Amino acid sequence: MIRRSTYSILALAVCATPAMAQPFADLSAIDREVANFIGVNPNAPGGAFAPVDRRLKLTACNRPLNLAWQGGRRQTVLVQCPVPGGWKLYVPVYGAGAGQISQPVVSRGDSVNVTLSGPGFSVSQSAEALEAGAVGEWVRVRIGKDTELRAQVLRPGAVGMNLP
């Protein structure tokens, strides 16, 4: 037989649990966003190699996720929670989604114009492409002898990056 005091302790524990539990990111929603980003149906072949690992306990992100191709061959999608101290995931995929294989417009060794832009400014300089990439892909470029950075391919011979 359970006593009245036991009921009140159980009720208190049940009421306190949601306040103490930290919300976690919906991993199924991340899977859907990756599928939408690469242009495939989430349940169709041609998307991610596997769903995001369900053992992950990522904090819920209160801002829209940032998704971008990682590497020049479109084999990995970078998923980031864009808040200070936010998390990031690298999701391996089968390649460009839904038959959209883009041809590189920048080749390794090409001379490119790299433009860094932000609120109220824009700076351009010549650089050397260290990777091949199609429009929209991120590639490594070298400015001078010592400075390397990643920039997005804008068109043949032009790469850029928007700064906050």
Q: Report DSSP letters for 98-120, one per residue.
A: GG--PPPSB-TT-EEEEEEEETT
What is the reported pLDDT for 116? 87
pLDDT band at 26; cut points 50, 70, 90: very high
Find the mean pLDDT for residues 145-162: 89
Q: Where in the chain is the domain with CATH 2.30.30.760?
A: 111-162
What is the reported pLDDT for 162? 81
Find the mean pLDDT for residues 95-120: 77
Q: 127: which 2 tokens?
A: 């650089």
pLDDT over 60 (residue 67): yes
In the chain, how many H helices and how many E strands? 2, 8
**CATH class label, 111-162:** mainly beta
Q: 29: which 2 tokens?
A: 């929603």
pLDDT band at 141; cut points 50, 70, 90: very high
pLDDT over 60 (residue 33): yes
What is the reported pLDDT for 46? 58
Is this structure's pTM higher than 0.75?
Answer: no
Q: Mean pLDDT highest for which of 4-8, 39-43, 147-151?
A: 147-151
